Amino acid sequence: MSATGLSLDVARELRAVCGEDYARERPAGGVYVSPGSAEEVAAILKLANQHHLSVAPAGGSTEQSAALMRPNILLHLNRLTQVEHYDHADLTVGVGAGTTVAQLNTLVGADRLLFACDPPLPERATVGGILATASHGPLRHGYGALRDFCIGIHFVTGDGRRAKGGGRVVKNVAGYDLMKLLIGSYGTLAVITSASFKLFPAPRQTRTFLAEFATAKEALEFRDRVMRSPLSPMCLELVSPGARKQMRPEVTDDAWVMCLRAAGSDTVLARYRKELGSVITKELEGESESRMWRAVQDYPIPDALKAEATIVGEFPRINLTVPLNKVAQAIEAVNQYAKPGWMGVAMVGRVGVGHLMATNWPDDVETCMHPDMLGEYLRGCLPDLGSLTVDGLANPWCGAPGNEPSLRAVKQALDPNNVLRGRVIF
């Protein structure tokens, strides 16, 4: 064994798979590899199984910092950026897992199409990474989640089998829906190597309407009114007073803001104005509109730090989803958990789908973010809690996710030797 914990033979074999330039020892231990193809990914996983090594896949390090990960093999997918298929008239695209969301947007944006997932830090976030973590942004409200528009996926299972699910067409029920299984599996079942997506026509014109409220309850009543109306906004986001102050330091009041983004012609937008009425305090368009949504999308990462690879742990974010009528209760529970009386927790949420993201914890953040405590507390307060995840945690689901025997059966089927043990989920 060398100082890295890997035998020289294994290191040599990895270099033989990826080439000298793409396999190197990490100062912290283990080997960093950057394969150039799905075949190479499969060869690496087979080697790992043979030698009982752990492998952790990594993308843009926006959810978890690769620098802090300590697997035997850190598998970076950054070289898998090929476009596998793209015909703008079919409204579908397939790209390698290392493609960033920004690259994908540039590709399809040229044809006035939209890739409808806008996760934090799109210049760094990769297709493989957002799938593995089921990431989303404000567009989640109007266009659905990745599980709704990822139509095909290529991957290598933990035991080294190259396989796929789905295909390239928007409607397809042949075989098991492996996209669903891998989306949100945090790289514990397989390494995603490429994926295909359904695209949408990009809106030709949008406006954003802001409404301010004294309490979260009133803001959520506005949400309910919008959802019972015939309007179908692209985005419907709640921004808490704390989050708003961080995004716009000049603001001094404590308003909860609902941000509604609508697409359509002048006539359609006029209808939005009419339906929403006098509750609207501000209307944004153009640059200021884009800036506002970008701030919400990336929140809470400050602009100056967006290019850094190791920032994630410094801004721990929890994401949760509850049924629509439990969002108020979830806000209350998060505040209570942070510290009774501490109102500094900042929240942003796709509240039209029952989502809430909370950050800006008090100083004793270590205790606060203890996954088991957090999970137990929130599950206790919110019996209908759907998902609960904390960025960057070894156990992103904050304790046992339930249905353990079924989850273990799936894990055993795809990664029997537990090679993909970067995230401890059971």
Partner 1 sequence: MQLSAVVEQLRKIAGRDAVLDRPEDLMLYEYDAGVRKCTPAAVVFPQNTEQVAEIMRLAKRAEFPLVARGAGTGLSGGAIAPEGGVVVAFARMNRILEVDADNMRAVVQPGVVNQQLSENVAHLGLYFAPDPSSQKACTIGGNVAENSGGPHTLMYGVTVNHVTGLTVVLPSGEVVHFGGKAAESNGYDLTGFLVGSEGTVGIVTEVTVRLLRRPERIATLLGIFETIDDGAKTVSAITAAGITPAALEMLDGWTLRAVEEACHAGYPLDAGAVLLIELDGLAEQVEEQAEAVREVCLQQRAREVRRAKDDNERALLWKGRKNAFAALGRLAPSYYSQDGVVPRTKIPAVLEFIGSVSKKYGLRIGNIFHAGDGNLHPLILFDPRDPHQLELVQAAGAEILEWCVAAGGSITGEHGVGLEKRNLMPLLFTDDDLDVMLSLRNAFNAAGVLNPGKLFPTTRMCRETMGPSSNPVLQSEGM
Rule CB under 8 A: say whether 214 interacts with partner 1.
no
Q: Please give the Cα distance from 309 to 143 (Å, whole number).
A: 29
Task: Please classify residue 8 by burial: count the beta carbons closer than 10 Å to its beta carbon, then call 0-12 exposed, 13-18 middle and 19+ buried.
Answer: exposed
Using N-to-C axis directions, what is the helix angle for 327-338 and 371-381, rounded to 10°?
A: 140
Query: Binding to partner 1 (CB under 8 A): which residues in 182-211?
Result: 183-185, 189, 200-202, 204
Query: Binding to partner 1 (CB under 8 A): which residues in 348-367?
Result: 353-355
Rule CB under 8 A: say whether 79 interacts with partner 1.
no
Query: Residues touching partner 1: how many (CB under 8 A)?
Result: 79
Query: How many residues are there in the chain?
Result: 426
Please identify, using beta-carbon distances, which residue of 102 and 324 lies nearer to partner 1. Answer: 324
Determine which residue in the list 7, 215, 367, 403 makes contact with partner 1, applying CB under 8 A.
403
Determine which residue in the list 323, 344, 362, 380 makes contact with partner 1, applying CB under 8 A.
323
Q: Please give the Cα distance from 284 to 297 (Å, whole number).
A: 16
List all residues 6 or more positions away from 36 whose beta carbon is below 8 Å from its beta carbon: 18, 19, 22, 79, 80
Query: Binding to partner 1 (CB under 8 A): which residues in 370-389?
Result: 384-389
H or E element, residue 66: none
List all residues 6 or more positions away from 182 whose beta carbon is below 8 Å from its beta carbon: 131, 132, 153, 155, 165, 189, 190, 192
- The DSSP output letter for 357 is E
Query: Binding to partner 1 (CB under 8 A): which residues in 260-299?
Result: 264-265, 267-268, 270-271
Nearest CA to 363 out of 378, 333, 342 is that of 342
Query: Binding to partner 1 (CB under 8 A): which residues in 19-78?
Result: none
Using the rule CB under 8 A, give the single segment among 24-32, 58-66, 242-250, 405-413 that binds partner 1: 405-413
Determine which residue in the list 1, 20, 21, 230 makes contact with partner 1, applying CB under 8 A.
230
Rule CB under 8 A: say whether 216 interacts with partner 1.
no
Please identify, using beta-carbon distances, which residue of 217 and 248 lies nearer to partner 1. Answer: 217
Q: Which two tokens stand for residue 3?
A: 């100082």
CB of 52 to partner 1, least distance (A): 20
Pattern 112-151, partner 1, x by CB under 8 A: x---------------------x---------xx-xx---
